[in-house]
Amino acid sequence: MNAGILGTGHFVPERILTNKDLEKMVDTSDEWIRTRTGIEERRIAPDEINTSDMAYEAAKNAMEEAKVNADEIDLILVATVTGDMGFPSVATQIQERLGAFKSAAMDLSAACAGFMYGMVTAKQFIESETYKNILIVGVEKLSKITNWEDRNTCVLFGDGAGAVVMGPVSDNRGVLSFELGADGRGIPHLYQTEEDLLYMNGREVFKFAVRQMGESALNVVEKIGLTKNDVDYLIPHQANIRIMEAAREKLEIPKEKMSKKIHKYGNTSAASIPIALSEDVKSGTIKDGNLVVLVGFGGGLTWGAVAFRWGK
Ligand code: ACO
């Protein structure tokens, strides 16, 4: 029994915050942000759109694409560090709105690597034939924990949601290998303060990410006995174009084989990979039989990568 992706979905709020807008808020420049991060603009959710609202929209979109009804969902996993509240979970909130009352539901906290952790968890339940259809959402409203006076971090983040429905697929399709990891010694580099604001030591996280993204991406390919040349498409966590480029260079693949959405959405944490995946599926960039590698890292520190062959 192979576990694969049956459908993808995403949602981003309408409001655009440009680098020029940020120039009016903190001591920064469009030029600095573009050259150091690759970000040109990001989406910011208004007060009335909360994390669960974005998660719901992305989930609905993925279920439509997968042609899976609410009563066919067995488990809902939501990767987020910015839920509407401490509890109940975003997963139970969207379960109620979707009417997916036959499903179990829980949130999962692994920061920007959360979606990878969600996919790997889903794979175990599907391959053991415990559950059939699993909805996985990566969603963040980072704007609510962003310190809008800290130029080191406020230029980086954005809001949004991405989702997939995973289920059984044919023998030569679906998730082929994965790697998950964590190193709690990295906690001081990236965490939420007592004032509920995001703190980050950018330089330390950068060094870690450049090394880890490349290594993990390569590991999942080698685990299935394939080589860099076999990779058709790479979707790295959209954190910083320079970090993404490091992963791409490690795999030695051309620029057009790497998903790049960072310029328009910034870093949306757990949502960045599933948003990119959904856009790339909808645009036809990812084709049946393609070997796709997803790789992410985040606060914890945490990381994860998944290699899958696209198609049912
Ligand atoms: N505008 C202008 N100048 C700035 C800005 C800004 N927005 N931000 C920082 N600077 C300054 C710094 O103050 C520093 O000045 P100094 O030398 O006088 O002290 C200078 O620019 C250079 O700073 P560096 O830290 O060396 O810049 P760097 O090239 O490393 O880029 C960045 C900083 C973009 C934050 C980078 O380190 C990075 O991307 N780190 C990883 C961040 C990340 O991806 N985190 C993901 C996890 S997020 C999560 O899990 C929710």
Which one of 112, 133, 154, 189 is the catalytic residue? 112
- DSSP for 233-283, please give it: EEEE--S-HHHHHHHHHHHT--GGGB---HHHH-B-GGGHHHHHHHHHHHT
| Ligand 1 atom with the shortest distance to the CA of 111 | 50
290 ligand 1 Cβ < 6 A = no
Collapsing DSSP to helix, strand or coil, 57 comes out as helix
Q: Are strands 41-43 and 104-108 parallel, antiparallel or unpaired?
A: unpaired
267 is catalytic: yes
- State pLDDT tens for residues 222-243: 999 999 999 999 999 999 999 9
Give pTM, 2 decimals.
Answer: 0.97
pLDDT(1) > 90: no
Residue 204: partners with Cβ closer than 8 Å, 6 or more residues away: 186, 189
237 is catalytic: yes
> If you ran DSSP here, which 8-state letter would residue 12 be given?
-
| Ligand 1 atom with the shortest distance to the CA of 152 | 8
34 ligand 1 Cβ < 6 A = no
pLDDT(5) > 90: yes
Element (H, E) at 203: helix 202-223
Residue 75: partners with Cβ closer than 8 Å, 6 or more residues away: 103, 104, 105, 122, 125, 131, 134, 135
- Same CATH topology for 2-169 and 174-309: the answer is yes
CATH code of the region 174-309: 3.40.47.10
206 ligand 1 Cβ < 6 A = yes
244 ligand 1 Cβ < 6 A = no
The order of strands in the sheet holding 2-11 is 2-11, 159-169, 134-141, 75-79, 104-108
Domain ranges for the chain, please list them: 2-169, 174-309
154 ligand 1 Cβ < 6 A = no
Q: How far apart are alpha carbons 291 and 71 in whole angstroms?
A: 31
Does 2-169 carry CATH code 3.30.450.20? no
pLDDT(114) > 90: yes
Mutation choice for ligand 1 from 20, 51, 116, 152, CB with most ligand atoms inside 8 A: 152
- State pLDDT tens for residues 34-52: 999 999 999 999 999 999 9
